[in-house]
Amino acid sequence: MAFAPVLHSEWLKIRTLRSLPGALLALFAVTTSFSALAGTDGSSDPEFDPLFTALSGVLPGQIAAISFGAMAVSSEYHGGALRQTLAAVPQRGRWFAAKVTAIAVPALLVGLITAVTALVVARAGLGSVARELTVAEQVHAVLGCGIYLMLIALFAAGLTALLRSGVATLSLLIPFILVVSFVIGDAAGTVADFLPDKAGQIVMYQTYDGTLGPWSGLAVTALWTAAALLAGAWSVRRRDA
């Protein structure tokens, strides 16, 4: 089967499975809400980074992106769905590429829309401080934020294909991002810059210290994501449905 109809079928799955559009809606709602709150509170701190404050809603919002990627893949492991899918598309690599594409495109689009909205609502709370941000800084942060959310969703998708369980992926990634990453960040110094979440989030800062810059940080997150997807592809190709 050609790639286009496989991609179309995967897109239909994502569009019709209620939990997946719901996860993207949660990504938008949580991120913009927390960014709006951060915008009203953050300006009282003289050492805060206004750009990261405006986009800080991504920190809780990325959980929804992780859930989107994990659920999009884990749905194939329920009720023998993967066996039916592979019966229609025997080329496992082609199917997995279509699945990844069907996850990446909406995650990127919603991520960009979310980043723009979060920045706008947070700027209203930041007031005069927001005028210090240049157009170039805001554009690169919005683009980087959208790419980061796409990568983190794909990272979760790759791990889910490897572990064959959305619950296992969420049980691993959510505590890591909410707890472990912060603990390692406090204790390990620059080593934390190379964690998949910390590295990608550098792009959302106006000023940054450390080994990585905004785009090199995203490149590190992309490498983590590529490794997870390759491991997931290996699992799909080598293990029984």
pLDDT tens string 117-158 = 999 999 888 877 777 888 998 999 999 999 999 999 999 999
Distance CA 157, CA 169 (A): 9
- Tell the residue number behind the tokens 């994501």, with chain if given: 225
Question: What would the mean pLDDT of 73-89 be, rounded to a whole number?
Answer: 84
Sign of CA dihedral 232, 236, 240, 241: positive
Angle formed at CA 39 by CA 219 and CA 203, multiple of 5 degrees: 10
The parent domain of residue 17 ranges over 3-238
Rounded to two decimals, the pTM is 0.93
- Residue linked to tokens 């799955």: 13
Q: Give the SS3 label for residue 87.
A: helix
Split into its structural domains, the chain has a count of 1
Here the tokens at position 20 are 């997946």
d(CA 207, CA 228) in angstroms, rounded, equals 30
CB 218 within 8 A of CB 193: no
Residues 6+ apart with CB under 8 A from 3: 94, 97, 98
Q: Of residues 24 and 5, which shows the higher confidence score?
A: 24
Confidence of residue 186 (pLDDT cuts 50, 70, 90): low
